[in-house]
Structure 1
Amino acid sequence: MPETFTTSTDPDLWLRRFAPDPAAPARVLFLPHAGGAASFYRPLCRALAGVAEAIAVQYPGRQERRREPCVEDLHQMADLVAEVLAGAPERPTALFGHSMGAVVAFELALRLEERGAAPVALFVSARRAPSQYRVEDLYLQSDERVLEEIRRLDGTDTTFLEDEELVRLILPTLRSDYRAIGTYRPRPGKATSAPITVLVGDSDPRMSAPEAPHWAGHTSAGIDVHSFRGGHFYLAEHVEPVAGLIGRRLREAGVPVPAAR
């Protein structure tokens, strides 16, 4: 018989606290991009120290969870993260997702709201609205085409792509994540009550600033849009301004958090 897997919802597997602060008045949950890991958010989590407890999600199939099967359905991913959070102490929560993580954050917001624990704010970064369908079949393309996309996005020093052993390790995770985003379809008529803040790099090849307003159709609380200089991974160069923006949105939601340092 084929081996079967049950994905655990143990918070110790899923949640990374780079600057633990359980007494903080609010928490911000960060959802990574396709192929990304919780460590991508380490600088931003640390920039929020003293403002809110920043928690980054570690998806299965990467870093210390690399032996676990990836989740190839974003609805299932949102279900799993919602279960992970079910036993967490109640306090105001904001969600922040980058690229694929923006979709997970949106779907997670819907699930938390259905459970009576709606987030106070939703931040969606470098991703067009779920209603703006576009064919994304990268998961069906050749290995070289997948690697070309990584180079095009220029998110990191791509010299690591010259290491064939490392490439063999990361390609399965990338393909699984690209399958998840490529096969995702939103549930019709679903919108969150959380205000949405849209963040975009002004030279992002995946999403342009004119596409950002479409997120307004996915919330009953309105949106605001912030453009930053840079590409798809503009976030790496704008940690402090983004941390400041998160703090402002929390205060606007009535959460008594201090200003980011």
Structure 2
Amino acid sequence: MSTWFRCFDRRPLATMRLICFPHAGGSAVFYRNWHRLAAPEIEVHAVQYPGRADRLHEPLVGDAHRLAESVGRELRPLLDRPVALFGHSMGSLIAYETARLLTGSGIPPAHLFVSGGVAAHDRGRLAHRVAPASEEALIDRLRLLGGTDAEALASAEFRAFALPYVRNDFQLVQSYRHTPGPPLTVPITAFTGADDPVVRLDAVARWAELTAREFSCHVLPGGHFFLGHEQAALWAHLHARLGIATPAHCG
């Protein structure tokens, strides 16, 4: 079993897998409840980046391309069924680069979902792009983005434990450079929060330029971490784009 993926609900009869990529500073546990809204046909897996959670003692990866290469390599055993990729924030970059690698290997994903992320080739439009230099600036950035408990942000233990990999991830996003190439032959669906303080809608819409297939963009209520309270609406879109009926308990 690969250390790179976590599945919180095995579904041997599923016909598709959804591979979820966490945000900067995030881990697989962010997606721990997603299977509850997924149709029975979908088995949800979450990527566990090294250097955090139960991989805390492994070296961090500070390069998006290298991280995607590792994910793509470790993903091979899960490709016995069609896969779709979902990435939030930094995860949208890693999911996109993974989609490029899989496509180049002749096994493109069925769909690429990007959430809370500026188009990969348009990083200059990401507000507050420069990685925070000081600890307090890093905490201020996390506070702006939301998604992190205020009590945790004030905790010295949390800062010592989490800030090294949070800083690594912010620097990964800052240093990322898009390599020109042919557009994906994979449909892309983008999501963004209506009140996201760092991601502009026009920069999200530019994901359309990175695929030769269908593109759609959906704006949902909330800020950068809108998907925390808009999971039902989000999953309705995921099911629709994958051609799978939304389960009755999620409708």
Normalised TM-score (structure 2): 0.93
Task: Answer whether contact 1:19 1:49 (CA < 8 A) is retained.
Answer: no
CA apart distance, 1:89:
4.3
1:173 aligns with 165
CA distance in 2, matches of 1:49, 1:213: 28
CA apart distance, 1:49:
4.9
CA distance in 2, matches of 1:22, 1:233: 31
Task: Answer whether contact 1:18 1:46 (CA < 8 A) is retained.
Answer: no
CA distance in 1, matches of 2:185, 2:79: 21
Pick the aligned partner of 1:129 from 105, 116, 119: 119
Per-residue CA deviation, residues 204-244 of structure 1 (Å, 9 max, x unaligned), is 01112232221111100031011110000000001111112
CA apart distance, 1:116:
1.3
Per-residue CA deviation, residues 60-92 of structure 1 (Å, 9 max, x unaligned), is 011111111111000001100011012234211
2:226 aligns with 234
Matched, 1:138 2:134: no
Total equivalences in the alignment: 245
CA distance in 1, matches of 2:194, 2:245: 29
Matched, 1:36 2:29: no
More divergent stretch after superposition (144-153 vs 208-217): 208-217
2:215 aligns with 223
Task: Answer whether contact 1:43 1:239 (CA < 8 A) is retained.
Answer: no
**Structure 2 counterpart of 1:144, one-letter code:** E
**Structure 2 counterpart of 1:137, one-letter code:** V
**Structure 1 counterpart of 2:130, one-letter code:** D
Per-residue CA deviation, residues 27-57 of structure 1 (Å, 9 max, x unaligned), is 1000000000011112223311513001001
CA distance in 2, matches of 1:221, 1:231: 28
Matched, 1:84 2:74: yes
Alignment of 1:160-199 (within 5 A): 160-199=152-191
Matched, 1:57 2:47: yes
1:259 aligns with 246
1:249 aligns with 241
**Structure 2 counterpart of 1:196, one-letter code:** I
Q: CA RMSD in A?
A: 1.4
CA distance in 1, matches of 2:45, 2:219: 24
CA apart distance, 1:157:
2.1
**Structure 1 counterpart of 2:37, one-letter code:** A
Task: Answer whether contact 1:21 1:53 (CA < 8 A) is retained.
Answer: yes
Q: Extract unaligned runs of 5+ from structure 1.
A: 1-10, 252-256
CA distance in 1, matches of 2:109, 2:60: 26
Identity of aligned residues (%): 36
CA distance in 1, matches of 2:130, 2:220: 28
| Structure 1 segments of 4+ aligned residues over 6 angstroms from their partners | none
Q: Extract unaligned runs of 5+ from structure 2.
A: none
CA distance in 1, matches of 2:186, 2:115: 15
Normalised TM-score (structure 1): 0.90
**Structure 2 counterpart of 1:216, one-letter code:** A
CA apart distance, 1:248:
1.1
Pick the aligned partner of 2:199 from 196, 201, 207: 207
